[in-house]
Structure 1
Amino acid sequence: MADRKSYYVTTPIYYVNDSPHIGHAYTSLACDALARFMRLDGYDVHFLTGTDEHGQKVEKSAELAGKDPLAFTDEVSQRFRLLAEAMNFSNDDFIRTTERRHIESCQELWRRLKERGQIYLGSYSGWYAVRDEAFYQEDELETRPDGKKVSKASGAEVAWVEEPSYFFQLSEWQQPLLDHYARNPDFIGPDSRRNEVISFVKSGLKDLSVSRTTFKWGVPVPDDADHIMYVWLDALTNYITAVGFPDTEQEKYIKFWPADLHMVGKDILRFHAVYWPAFLMAAGLEPPRRVFAHGWWTNEGQKISKSLGNVIDPHDLIARYGRDQVRYFLLREVPFGNDGDFSHRGMVQRMNGDLANGIGNLAQRVLSMINKNCDAKVPVHGVLTEADLKLLGSAHGLLPAVRPLMTAQQFHKALETIWQVVTEADRYVDEQAPWALKKTDPARMGTVLYVLAETIRHVALLVQPFMPESGAKILDQLEVHGDDRSFAAFGPEHALESGTYLPKPEGVFPRFLEEPAA
């Protein structure tokens, strides 16, 4: 399937019991950069995000807000749509689990599992955390000084629950899951998370309670109105709903399923890498190709929490630093998959170092010299020297170098690789000194500026998935338009044409200046 030209990437669907924060923006941003990259690389992409709107936690949050659950979810879901607009995400669909298409999809998946003998009626008694919408075993809990039991992993309080319940025969899927992980070593990323999941599955899987009777805000179980579906069986199904399930014969499903990548936070990896493939295989459907779990952010070294009042609002970041600057920082600052710390100082260093002094300064210097010394036209180049060919070779080699890093979700390394060429181009400017060549060898000056303009073109093409508006502004100033902005335009065959008029250059990345203290 190496020549497959479709790509399906999903964010987790976000739980609507609160407003979106930096964690939501981070996950969706990674998916957006990947979706944009794949589109530019010639793939037909389906990029999905949305909101998870059922469950006891939502019912309680709506009650506390004095609202009907649907009215409450309408309002909070809209905040996630607004975040997608504010961050300039390019999602192709936004799914809500309260939609009719999704409810029908969930119920059909349930029927298929039931028909295959994978679901049975029993009764559940055990520990349940409403905050996590998750069941916990005794050894996964600890007792706080106040006597309350909480999850060791999340700190969420648990309560003892006893009720009739349908169960999914998860225990039967222990070995098939381990076989699947062995056959597909890239199924879970990064490797540290893969090892955690394998260890969890090897320790033994118990059948999973997949229905509830103590509240009503959820998808009704087919043929048993007393039960609603466990919120995770409901939520995970969104990924197939969005490509047309239960109609598995339609073009969209055939083209995009199985998904190429489910991007998730590390706290929900188990649901995606254990329960979800087990549900799918049990229903006779293919599991996704890959699940990648990223880390969490702290704020100036502190854990982010509402009680500390240090939750980071992405809208505030955009207003203060700029949209593309925030996008760049989040994907460049931390090895993707690790935890990271958001700091004002770190943000300013990236803005002024990598962006203003880096790509911004390079583009401004070179295009200003072309504007001033080459009649505002792409210069004519003469015979290329070894130094010219070396820099152009680095620029031409960027795409094959960055491609595998993107498919491995190593966004920080992809950006690092692009910036190595920016650094190389800066060094080349200093060594070739085109301002001096203007007097001594104007023809050579034209060649040097041409090589630099071509290098900037290649860098700008690859900057587009990460910083769409800034990449577009640089390409505008090089008069690169339309299909010439796709990755098919990489290489010398699509080089800038000498004699093309270029507009007066404008700075793309202003320096961040601290406001003076009052």
Structure 2
Amino acid sequence: MTRRFYVTTPIYYVNGAPHIGHAYTSIAADVMARFHRLAGDEVFFLTGTDEHGQKVEQAAQAAGVAPKVFADEVSANFRSMANAMAISYDDFIRTTEPRHIASAQALWSKVAENGAIYLDAYEGWYALRDECFYGEDELITGPDGQKVAPTGAPVEWVKEPSYFFRLSAYQDRLLELYEQNPEFLGPHGARNEIISFVKQGLRDLSVSRTSFKWGIPVPGDDQHVMYVWFDALANYLSALGYPDTSAPRMAFWPASLHLVGKDIARFHAIYWPAFLMAAGIELPKKVFANGWWTIEGQKMSKSLGNVIDPRELVADFGLDAVRFFVLREVPFGGDSDLSRKALIMRNNVELANDLGNLAQRTLSLVARNCGGVLPERRNLTEEDQKLLGQVSVLPQLLASQFERCALTDALEDVWKVIRACNAYIDHQAPWALRKTDVERMADVLRVLLDALRGIATMLQPFMPHSMDRMLDQLGVEAGERTFAALELPLPGGRQLPAPQGIFPRYVEPEQV
């Protein structure tokens, strides 16, 4: 039976341009989606843009254009970034689309029908930058002695009529969710933080505003627009066709994995499941929060001028080198630092040398000594079987790592095999066997080609373009590139194309 896998990125807020942090989450989700497709699962992969709220309205005013015109432009930039990073999304949802507006209003109506929304007046601290209300006990003192949000965002005292969601009524159910489903929220640090927050007590949540108009009208009361997070979180259902439960895509609900930045884990792990509980809708299976990026050890900021557009990195280093680096450098889920030195090191040592040189050496020996023909698989020694055994367990090993969202660990598992292959080729020395035992040379080269096939197949989700080229050179046809296909050895006798380098070494251009 085919399994379904539904993975989402957060929908990115259109008050600014895309940067490396956005690309990071999108790449991780893309790797997940590609892995599950290669494993034979039916996959739906969603990304998109969050386009309502006071911040967008103000950014549009500053730009001198209507909010929709502003949102159209920035949303197109996020779509361009996704395409440039080879993000294989199945749908790109925008919260200004009619399908989303209808879906969000339907979700609101369902929650209201079930008695979880009521009208009152809101009075409290609001951080515009975070689009979030904070309790007095959550505020901290900023550098200038003023009260600020725990994120450092300025706060202002707001008083206006508001609809409220009965969040306090779901405190015990949320704690029960975290306790009974320890895999619901990761990584460990984010999980502990959320549980601690909920245990301190939940207040009812203001879910509408009247002080601005750029938002989805509340059903039956167009003086109010929905709180941007109620609107935004509904995207995970609106892209599937909710409230039409017979829509084909609704078969993908509940979501298998919501990948989010750690700054929005609270909204996904507290508000979202509570909204769904109130609507009587099944909960997503997992929320996983990835860390933040610093640039050369400094926090990204416009004032420092160090906000990096990932497309600029791709222009310098190539797409797959960037995709590889962001998931290889630091364990996924932790904070990461982007430095050119580290990126060059990863590219030159692990891609160009460890993997690229291994493939080039092997394929060049086949071209020179076997007429460029894939040798038959014949006699296997104990060493041969040991290496091929390491390759054969990669699909199972990586499936386990992907289940934990341990993408960096998955890459390390593959690199252990690559290092074993390099030790094997040095020990077996097929270039020397050419003079003493041609049959053994062919057997060794066949073992290396089979190992490289397994490695390249498993690395496809991370580096799709480079691994396509490597599999082409290994004589692997289009229909032989799934994980299941690895169980069948390739028939010997295939003519292989002339070998070509896949990962060039990077040398910093000289400063003029």
TM-score past 0.5 threshold = yes
CA distance in 1, matches of 2:238, 2:338: 35
**Which residue does 1:252 correspond to in 2?**
249
* Structure 2 SS opposite 1:225: strand
**Which residue does 1:17 correspond to in 2?**
15
* Structure 2 SS opposite 1:165: strand
The amino acid across from 1:287 in the alignment is: L
CA distance in 1, matches of 2:434, 2:144: 78
CA distance in 1, matches of 2:33, 2:300: 28
CA distance in 2, matches of 1:294, 1:505: 38
Provide, for residues 172-231 of structure 1, a one-character-per-residue CA deviation record: whole Å limited to 9, x for no partner. 000011111111110001111111111111110000000000000000001111100000
CA distance in 2, matches of 1:143, 1:458: 55
* Structure 2 SS opposite 1:356: helix
Q: Is the 8 A contact 1:382 1:444 kept in 2?
A: no
The match for 1:198 among 187, 195, 199 is 195
CA distance in 1, matches of 2:233, 2:132: 14
Give the alignment of 1:37-436 within 5 angstroms.
37-152=35-150, 154-253=151-250, 255-436=251-432
Are residue 502 (structure 1) and residue 496 (structure 2) matched?
yes
CA distance in 2, matches of 1:247, 1:145: 50
CA distance in 1, matches of 2:137, 2:209: 23
* Structure 1 SS opposite 2:6: strand
* Structure 1 SS opposite 2:362: helix
The amino acid across from 1:53 in the alignment is: E
How far residue 498 of structure 1 moved from its aligned partner, in angstroms, is: 1.1
How far residue 4 of structure 1 moved from its aligned partner, in angstroms, is: 5.8
How far residue 513 of structure 1 moved from its aligned partner, in angstroms, is: 1.2
The amino acid across from 1:54 in the alignment is: H
CA distance in 1, matches of 2:322, 2:330: 13
**Which residue does 2:505 correspond to in 1?**
511
The amino acid across from 1:149 in the alignment is: K
CA distance in 2, matches of 1:517, 1:115: 66
* Structure 2 SS opposite 1:384: coil
**Which residue does 1:461 correspond to in 2?**
457
CA distance in 1, matches of 2:174, 2:75: 34
The amino acid across from 1:436 in the alignment is: A
How far residue 381 of structure 1 moved from its aligned partner, in angstroms, is: 3.6
How far residue 44 of structure 1 moved from its aligned partner, in angstroms, is: 0.7
How far residue 155 of structure 1 moved from its aligned partner, in angstroms, is: 1.0
**What TM-score comes out, normalization by structure 2 length?**
0.99
The amino acid across from 2:427 in the alignment is: E
Provide, for residues 422-475 of structure 1, a one-character-per-residue CA deviation record: whole Å limited to 9, x for no partner. 100010001100001001000000000000000000000011000000010000
Provide, for residues 257-286 of structure 1, a one-character-per-residue CA deviation record: whole Å limited to 9, x for no partner. 000000000000000000000000100001
How far residue 138 of structure 1 moved from its aligned partner, in angstroms, is: 1.0
CA distance in 2, matches of 1:417, 1:105: 42
How far residue 139 of structure 1 moved from its aligned partner, in angstroms, is: 1.6
The match for 1:446 among 442, 445, 462 is 442
CA distance in 2, matches of 1:485, 1:145: 56
* Structure 1 SS opposite 2:164: strand
* Structure 2 SS opposite 1:292: strand
Q: Is the 8 A contact 1:178 1:198 kept in 2?
A: yes
* Structure 2 SS opposite 1:157: coil
Q: Is the 8 A contact 2:112 2:118 kept in 1?
A: yes
Q: Is the 8 A contact 1:261 1:291 kept in 2?
A: yes
Cα RMSD after superposing both structures: 0.9
CA distance in 2, matches of 1:472, 1:311: 31
How far residue 145 of structure 1 moved from its aligned partner, in angstroms, is: 4.8
How far residue 80 of structure 1 moved from its aligned partner, in angstroms, is: 0.3
**What TM-score comes out, normalization by structure 1 length?**
0.98
The amino acid across from 1:397 in the alignment is: V
CA distance in 1, matches of 2:2, 2:429: 46
CA distance in 2, matches of 1:172, 1:382: 67
Q: Is the 8 A contact 1:381 1:443 kept in 2?
A: no
Query: Which 4+ stretches in 1 moved above 6 angstroms?
Result: none
Are residue 28 (structure 1) and residue 22 (structure 2) matched?
no
The amino acid across from 2:42 in the alignment is: D
Taking only the aligned residue pairs, the percentage that are identical comes to 58
* Structure 1 SS opposite 2:223: coil
CA distance in 1, matches of 2:193, 2:96: 33
Q: Is the 8 A contact 1:35 1:45 kept in 2?
A: yes
CA distance in 1, matches of 2:28, 2:377: 39
CA distance in 2, matches of 1:213, 1:340: 39
CA distance in 2, matches of 1:358, 1:407: 27
How far residue 356 of structure 1 moved from its aligned partner, in angstroms, is: 0.3
Aligned length: 512
